[in-house]
Homo-oligomer: A and B are copies of this chain.
């Protein structure tokens, strides 16, 4: 049997997958890109040795990254998606009829091309006419934008690695400046099982920039630690509340999942004061 051993130096459990067939494997200007076929998950996209999405379960991650802030904002029109070259987040954003414009900022054009070829259903929204693709550093893109953006969604690789410029105070400031007074930001922020200190760190940095900061989680089978967190920074709106009048068809996300996904407040306070002892 051919096996793929995930190469995540920061995870205390290493995941291995059966490989039926390697469909693509090349180095782009930025990273090593591989697509393989697995009997359970279907096609699997790997960047620099770490699984990014699988055909079978990508919707858990993409729905949870996207719809919590999309539904918490009353009327999102202009959205920036940074990273997420596979297109899954863009696909979810476009489900909202209010959306007029999506700036899709992916540094590595090859990831978009590979996804169009091997994950056509995930990349289905990429050629929508509301989408403007820019292959550049997300931090550069947001630096000098005017304040007309409703939501910024960061769909990067792991924080520890080349995406770390997307988790600095400077970057969060740029995001705040490009958001309208109702604007919100969301990003993945690692596992509450394995990377609690990183989660706290992201939350604390966000607090120096945004008046409303919060944290929610989702169970993701293919990301190490699985109990995955998402960090929200908001100028005004509490992300726990649903304000959107639109209903979006989802496979996992729902109003109830939205509510339950946020850490109970006593637990959140314990986390932030360093009293969750694991």
Contacts and interface: CB of A to CB of B under 8 A. Distances in A.
Interface in A226-278: 226-227, 251-252, 254, 256-257, 260, 264-267, 276-278
A277 B254 contact: no
Interface stretch (A38-46, A69-77, A92-100, A118-126): A38-46
A12 B56 CA distance: 12
Interface stretch (A13-21, A80-88, A131-139, A161-169): A13-21
A17 B15 CA distance: 9
Interface residues of A, number: 41
Q: Which of A225, A226, A251, A276 has the most CB of B within 10 A?
A: A226
A221 interface: yes
Interface string A26-38: 0000000000001
Nearest to A5: B16
A254 B264 contact: yes
A38 B11 CA distance: 12
Given A57-B278, A226-B227, A221 B13 contact: yes
A221 to B, nearest CB: 4
Copies of this protein, total: 2
A219 B254 CA distance: 19
Interface centre among A5, A12, A251, A266 (most CB of B within 10 A): A12
A203 interface: no
12 contacts: A12-B17, A12-B39, A13-B222, A14-B17, A15-B16, A16-B16, A219-B226, A219-B227, A251-B276, A252-B278, A260-B260, A260-B264
Interface of A: 3, 5, 12-18, 38-41, 56-57, 59-60, 191-194, 217, 219, 221-222, 225-227, 251-252, 254, 256-257, 260, 264-267, 276-278
